[in-house]
Structure 1
Amino acid sequence: MPKPSNLDNPEIAAFAWGRFRRMMRLMGLITLAAILIGFAWLYWQHGFVSVHVYIGAALGIGVTIMLTGLLMGLVFLSHGTGHDESIDDNIDADWQDNEN
């Protein structure tokens, strides 16, 4: 039977998800800054080419940074609340049985 997760506790979960939301807001600001820097670099290198180039650059930069921040944030959330330790790891027991 798996151990209970700290995310089952409403107070701990509220704190953890609040911290996650703050981190995602910060990542949104960093993403916006990176997009603006990318626009400036594109304009400096090539001038105004087409609006489609700028839309594609904004989407590429924005999705990449936000997805990276989201995945890393979930890793931090899972580890910070002890949720990782609550998982029942049967694979480890299988490996130990095969070694003997």
Structure 2
Amino acid sequence: MMKWIGMFSAACTGMMLAVLFILWAFNDFEALGVGGHGLVALILGVVVTTGLGIGLMALVFHSDRSDHDEVVGH
């Protein structure tokens, strides 16, 4: 079960990085109007926030499928 969570997280992270790479390749993020440090902070913020969301959702699905919630409820 944990292998599925790792593969799901890696796939989502890969897709997110691919979208960021495509955006960078087409317009070099010039439309954002931020400097290098701001751009790094923006990208890290998006990656960390998305990773946290993916991890929490994976834990919710794992908890539901493993019936840990039912054991605690009874």
Q: TM-score, normalised by structure 2?
A: 0.76
Aligned twin of 2:29: 43
Cα-to-partner distance string for 1:70-90 (whole Å, 9 max, x where unaligned) = 00000001101112111145x
Tell me the percent identity: 27
Cα-to-partner distance string for 1:13-54 (whole Å, 9 max, x where unaligned) = xxx11111111111211231343356466724146x421021
Aligned twin of 2:40: 55
The one-letter code sitting in structure 2 at the alignment partner of 1:45 is: A
Larger radius of gyration: 1
User: How many residues matched?
Assistant: 73
Alignment of 1:1-100 (within 5 A): 16-36=1-21, 39=24, 43-46=29-32, 49-88=34-73
Tell me the distance in 2 between the aligned counterparts of 1:52 and 1:66: 21
Q: TM-score, normalised by structure 1?
A: 0.59
Contact 1:35 1:62 in 2 (8 A): no
RMSD of Structure 2 on Structure 1 (CA):
2.4
| Larger mean Cα displacement after TM superposition, 32-41 or 52-61 | 32-41
